[in-house]
Amino acid sequence: MPAVPTSYYLGLSGVLFTIGMIGVLIKRNPIVIFMCIELMLNAVNLSFIALGRHFGHMAGQMMVIFVMAIAAAEVAIGLGIIVAIFRTKETINIDEINLLKY
Amino acid sequence: MSLVWLIPGLPLIGFLFHAFLGKSIVKSMGEANGKKTIGAIATGLVFASLLISVLVFLDLMKLAPGDQRQYVSLLPGGGRIPWISIGSLHVYYMGIIDPLSLLMCFIVTGVGGVIHLYATGYMADDKDYPRFFTYFNLFIFFMLMLVLSENILLMFVGWEGVGLCSYLLISFWFEDVENSKAGNKAFIVNRIGDLGFSIGVMTIFAVFGTLSFYTPQGTGFLDMAAKGITPHGILSVGAATLIALLLFMGACGKSAQFPLYVWLPDAMAGPTPVSALIHAATMVTAGVVMITRVSPLIVHSPVAMMVIACVGVFTAFYAATIALTQNDIKKVLAYSTVSQLGYMFLGCGVGAFAAGMFHVTTHAFFKGLLFLGAGSVIHAMSGEQDMRKMGGLKDRIPVTFWTMVCAWLAISGIPPFAGFWSKDEILGSATGYPQYGMELYAVGLFTALLTAFYMTRLMMKTFWTKPRFKDEELGAHSSHGSDDSHSHDGKHQGVHESPPSMLISLVILAILSVIGGLVGIPGHNLFDKFLGPSVASYPLKEGMPVPIGMLLGTACGAVGIAVCVIMYNRRQETGDLLSPKEKASNALYKGSLNLWYVDSAYYKIFVTEGGKVAEFIWQGIDRALIDGIVNFVAGLLGFLSELFRRFQTGYIRAYAFVMLAGVVAVVISVLWPFLRHLHI
C-alpha cells in the first residue's frame, strides 16, 4: 500500500487550522471558541506528526504529547474562568465581556 | 586656650535648651518661676562665655605681641577637623584667638550679657519669653562664630546666622504684619550685600587658593596679602580692589551703609533689647569687624579704601540729617546708628582700622545704653514711642535720665566720655589721609555737630521740655504704631521707673560709656597697641596736631549741644522748634522728615516697578513660555493617546485578528527570501 504523501497531511493540517481560526474570529460563544482553538492545536499536532514521520525523527511525536498535556490544562482553566464569568455577569457572550475596553 | 570652644558653645547649649525645653519649663514651673529660670540660664550662659573670654585673654596677654595669634579648634576635644574638603578647598572648624577676635568676644558677651539681663526685665510680660531667649542665645552663638572663625567661609556662616536671628527678632511680634514686613525688608536688603560677600569669598579662593585668614604655616590669604603675594606671583592691585569692593558690598548690607541702609531704621520694629544688641551694639558692626579682619588685603587697594571712606563719611552725614527730624525715639537712634557706623567705615577707609574698632567698642557701650534707655523710657510711657508726646521725664525716671545723660554726652563727643576719644581718633586719622583727607575731616566734623544737635534734641524733647501727655491717658492708646506695647496688666499707672534688672544694665553700660574711652587716649593708646597684632598698619601722613583736633571736636559737640539747648529752651511749652505752618513750607524739613524720599524711591523702583518685572517674568516667561512648552508636550501626547486608545475595542476577535495579521506578516517576512524564488 503506497504511503500517503506528507504534503497531503500538511494540506489537511492547514485546512483544519484555517477552519479553527475562522471559528475563533467569528463565534461568540466561548465554548465554541474553545473547540475551535482545540481544532487549531490539533491541526498543528497533525503537521508535527506528519513531519516527524517524514524526517524519521521522534521530536514531532514528543512535541504532540506536550501540546496535548498543555491543551488539557488550558481547557480546565479556561472552563473554570468561563464558569466564574458566568456567575458574575450572568452571560458568557464574548462581546459583552469587555471590561478592558478604552 | 583649650576652653575656647566653650565661648560659642555655651550660648549654643542655651539655644538648644530653650528651644527644646523652654516651653515645658514655663509650663511645669509656673509662669513666673519658669520665666525667671529661663532668663537666668540665658543670661548666665552669656556671662559664662564672657568669663571664659577673660581667661583666654589673660592667657594671650602672657605671650609676646608677635605670638598673639593662636589657632584653636572650635569643636570640643580640639583637633583640626575639616568641615569641607573638596579638591584643594579645605575649610576647618578652627578659630583664631587674637586681639581682634577677643575684643569682639568681650563686646558680644559683655554688652550682650548686660542686654540679656535687661531683657529679662523688659520682656517679663511677654508670652513668648522662651522663644525670645532662644533667638537671643542663638544670635550670641552665631556672632561669636563670626568673630572667632579662622576662615572667611565659617565667618560667612556666622554672618548669615546673625542675619537670620536679626530677621527672627525683628519680626518677633509677627502677629502685626508691619513687623513681619520689616523683618522681610531687613532680610532681603541684606541678601543684596551678601551677594557681594559670597562673590568676594569665591574671588578670594580664585586668587589665593585658600579661604583661611591665617595659618600656622603662613599660607592663609591674609598671610600672603601682607607680603603682597599670591600662590601665582605678585598680588595685583586690581585683584585686591575687586575683592575689597565685593567684601565691602557685603559690609554695606550688614552694617547699613548707603545705599543699603534702609533696612536698619525699619528693624526697630523688634523689641528694644533686640535693637540695642543686634541693631546697635554687635551685629551691625560685623561689617566693620570683617573689613578690619581683612585689612592686610584692603590696604593694597587705594581705590577701595577711598570708596570705603567716602561711603562711610557720606552715610554718616546723610543719616545724621535724617535723624534731625524724626519723631520716633527709636528712629532717631536708628539713624544715629547708621551715622555712627559711617564713622567706623571712615576710620577703616582712611587706614585707621584700630580707630574704627575703637569706635565699634565705645559705640557698643553708648548706643547700647541709648537704646536700653529709650526702652526704659518707652516702658515708663507704657509703650509710647513718639517724642512729641513725651517731655518732662527728668524727675520722673531719674535713673534712666542720668544714665541717658552719660550716653548723650558720650555720643556728642564731650571729653572725657567714651565717644569723644574714638570719634576724635577717626577724625584725626582722616586728616592724615593722603587724598582729600581734610575734606573727609570737614564733613566728619560737621556731622559731629549734627550728632550733638540731634541727640540734644532727643534729650530735650524727652526729658526737659514741659510734659505733653497726661498720666491717665498712658497705656490707653491703641497699640497701633508703637512696637513696644507689650501687655500691661494694669498694675502700672502713669509714668513708672523700670524694674531693677533693667536699671542695673543701664548703670553698667553708663559706667562703661563714661570710662570706656580712657583706654584709647592719644599718647597712651593702649587700645591701638592691644589691637596692633590683628590689623594692618597704613602709612598716614602727618595730620592735624592732636590737641587742635581734640579742641575742634569738643567745640563742635559743645556748639551743637548749646545751640540746641538754647533753641529748645525758647520752646519749652511745645517742645517743637517749628510751627506746623513752617513745617509745611520748609523743604529741608520735609525732605529730612521723609528720609530724603529715598525709601519711597526704592519702594517705587524696586517694589512697584520691580514688581512689574517680576509680574512679567511670572506671567510672560514662567506661565506663558515655560509652562506653555510643558503643557504643549502633555497635550500632544494626550491627543495621540486619544487616537490610539480606539484600538482597545473590547472585542476579543479584533485582538485575535490583529494577532493573526501580525503572525502572517512575520511569517511572510521570514519566508520572503524563499518565496521570491518560487516564481509563482
pLDDT at B197 > cutoff 90: yes
Q: Which residues of A touch B660 (CB under 8 A)?
A: 21, 25
CA distances from A97 to A83, A89, A101, B565 (A): 13, 8, 9, 102
Assign B593 a pLDDT band (cuts: 50, 70, 90). confident
Q: Residue A13 falls within a domain, yes or no?
A: yes
Interface contact B653-A24, CB threshold 8 A: yes
Provide the grid cell at B562: 548749646
Q: What is the pLDDT of residue B147?
A: 93
Q: What is the pLDDT of residue B532?
A: 81
Q: How far is B566 from B457, CA to CA, in rounded Å? A: 11
Q: Which residues of B touch A82 (CB under 8 A)?
A: none
Q: How far is B349 from B433, CA to CA, in rounded Å? A: 9
Chain B CA closest to residue A101? B650
Which residues 21-50 on chain A approach chain B with CB closer than 8 angstroms?
21, 24-26
Average pLDDT over residues B28-45: 88
Cβ neighbors of B255 (< 8 A, separation 6 or more) are B284, B285, B286, B287, B288, B341, B344, B345
Interface contact B653-A94, CB threshold 8 A: yes
Assign B240 a pLDDT band (cuts: 50, 70, 90). very high
Q: H helices within B209-301, ranges in order?
A: 221-227, 237-254, 263-266, 272-276, 286-293, 295-298
Interface probe with A: pick from B645, B653, B663, B667, most Cβ of A within 10 Å: B653
Q: H helices within B460-545, ranges in order?
A: 500-515, 526-531
Per-residue pLDDT tens for B550-564? 889 899 999 999 999
Interface contact B653-A102, CB threshold 8 A: no
Residue B605: other Cβ atoms inside 10 A: 10
CA distances from B650 to B242, B403, B642, B654, B663 (A): 73, 92, 16, 8, 20
Bridge partners (DSSP) of residue B82 are B92
B581 at interface of A, judged by CB pairs closer than 8 A: no
pLDDT at B478 > cutoff 70: no
Chain A CA closest to residue B653? A25
Assign B487 a pLDDT band (cuts: 50, 70, 90). very low
Q: What is the pLDDT of residue B470?
A: 77
pLDDT at B499 > cutoff 90: no
> B502: burial class by Cβ within 10 Å (0-12, 13-18, 19+)?
buried
Q: How far is B430 from B544, CA to CA, in rounded Å? A: 9
**% residues pLDDT > 70 (chain B):** 96
Q: Which residues of A touch B648 (CB under 8 A)?
A: 100-102
**Domain range for A50:** 6-90
pLDDT at A1 > cutoff 70: no
Q: What is the pLDDT of residue B294?
A: 92
B174 at interface of A, judged by CB pairs closer than 8 A: no
Average pLDDT over residues B270-276: 89
Average pLDDT over residues B337-359: 92
Q: DSSP of B574-604, one letter per residue?
A: T--SS-HHHHHH-HHHHHHHTGGGHHHHHII
Q: Is the peptide bond before B259 cis (omega within 30 degrees of 0)?
A: yes
Per-residue pLDDT tens for B289-336? 999 999 999 999 999 999 999 999 999 999 999 998 888 899 999 999
**Pick from B649, B656, B657: which is nearest to A101 by CB?**
B649
Assign B479 a pLDDT band (cuts: 50, 70, 90). very low
Residue B135: other Cβ atoms inside 10 A: 24
Assign B488 a pLDDT band (cuts: 50, 70, 90). very low
Chain B CA closest to residue A30? B652
Q: How close A100 comes to chain B (CA, Å)?
A: 6
What CATH number has the domain bearing residue A32? 1.10.287.3510
**Pick from A24, A97, A101: which is nearest to B656 by CB?**
A24
Q: What is the pTM of this model?
A: 0.79
Per-residue pLDDT tens for A31-53? 898 899 999 999 999 999 999 98
Assign B640 a pLDDT band (cuts: 50, 70, 90). very high
Q: With a cut of 0.90, is the ipTM above it?
A: no
pLDDT at B492 > cutoff 70: no
Q: What is the pLDDT of residue A9?
A: 92
B238 HSE (CA, 13 A, CB side): 0
Per-residue pLDDT tens for B356-392? 999 999 999 999 999 999 998 888 888 888 888 888 8
Assign B345 a pLDDT band (cuts: 50, 70, 90). very high
Assign B482 a pLDDT band (cuts: 50, 70, 90). very low
Q: H helices within B80-176, ranges in order?
A: 99-106, 112-122, 129-148, 152-170
Q: Residue A84 falls within a domain, yes or no?
A: yes
Interface probe with B: pick from A22, A25, A31, most Cβ of B within 10 Å: A25
Would you give the DSSP letter of residue B277? I
Q: How close A69 comes to chain B (CA, Å)?
A: 23
Q: Residue A73 falls within a domain, yes or no?
A: yes
Q: Which residue has the higher pLDDT, B471 or B101?
A: B101
Q: Residue A34 falls within a domain, yes or no?
A: yes
Which residues 634-673 on chain B approach chain A with CB closer than 8 angstroms?
645-646, 648-653, 656-657, 660
Assign B474 a pLDDT band (cuts: 50, 70, 90). low
Provide the grid cell at B443: 564733613
Residue bearing cell 578647598 = B89
**Pick from B649, B650, B656: which is nearest to A25 by CB?**
B656
Q: Are B406 and B514 in contact (CB under 8 A)?
A: yes
> A83: burial class by Cβ within 10 Å (0-12, 13-18, 19+)?
exposed
Q: What is the pLDDT of residue B106?
A: 92
Q: How close A1 comes to chain B (CA, Å)?
A: 32
Bridge partners (DSSP) of residue B85 are B90
Average pLDDT over residues B58-81: 84
A88 at interface of B, judged by CB pairs closer than 8 A: no
A67 at interface of B, judged by CB pairs closer than 8 A: no
Interface contact A100-B649, CB threshold 8 A: no
Q: How many domains does chain A have?
A: 1
Q: What is the pLDDT of residue B269?
A: 85
Per-residue pLDDT tens for A49-87? 999 988 888 888 999 999 999 999 999 999 999 899 889
Q: Which residues of A touch B657 (CB under 8 A)?
A: 25
Provide the grid cell at B518: 580712657
Interface probe with B: pick from A18, A92, A94, A102, most Cβ of B within 10 Å: A102
Interface contact A26-B653, CB threshold 8 A: yes
pLDDT at B490 > cutoff 50: no
Q: Are B304 and B241 in contact (CB under 8 A)?
A: yes
CA distances from B465 to B253, B255, B408, B569, B577 (A): 37, 34, 16, 8, 12
Provide the grid cell at B392: 518732662
Interface contact A101-B656, CB threshold 8 A: no
Assign B538 a pLDDT band (cuts: 50, 70, 90). confident
> B80: burial class by Cβ within 10 Å (0-12, 13-18, 19+)?
middle
Q: Helix B437-459 vs helix B302-323: angle between axes, to the nearest 10 degrees? A: 30
Q: Which residues of B touch A95 (CB under 8 A)?
A: 651
Interface contact A98-B651, CB threshold 8 A: yes
Q: Residue A29 falls within a domain, yes or no?
A: yes
β-strand B94-97 against B89-92: which pairing, if any?
Answer: unpaired
Mean residue pLDDT of chain B comes to 87
Q: Residue A97 falls within a domain, yes or no?
A: no
Q: What is the pLDDT of residue B680?
A: 57
Q: DSSP of A15-47, one letter per residue?
A: HHHHHHHHHHHH---HHHHHHHHHHHHHHHHHH
Would you give the DSSP letter of residue B342? H
pLDDT at B280 > cutoff 80: yes
Residues B610-633 as b/e (b if ≥16 CB within 10 A, e otherwise) read eeeeeeeeeeeeeeeeeeeeeeee
Q: How close A2 comes to chain B (CA, Å)?
A: 28
Q: Which residues of B touch A93 (CB under 8 A)?
A: none
Q: Residue A101 falls within a domain, yes or no?
A: no
Nearest Cα residue to B428 out of B356, B533, B337, B330: B356
Q: Residue A20 falls within a domain, yes or no?
A: yes
Nearest Cα residue to A48 out of A36, A26, A25, A65: A65
Phi, psi of B337 (to 5 degrees): -60, -45
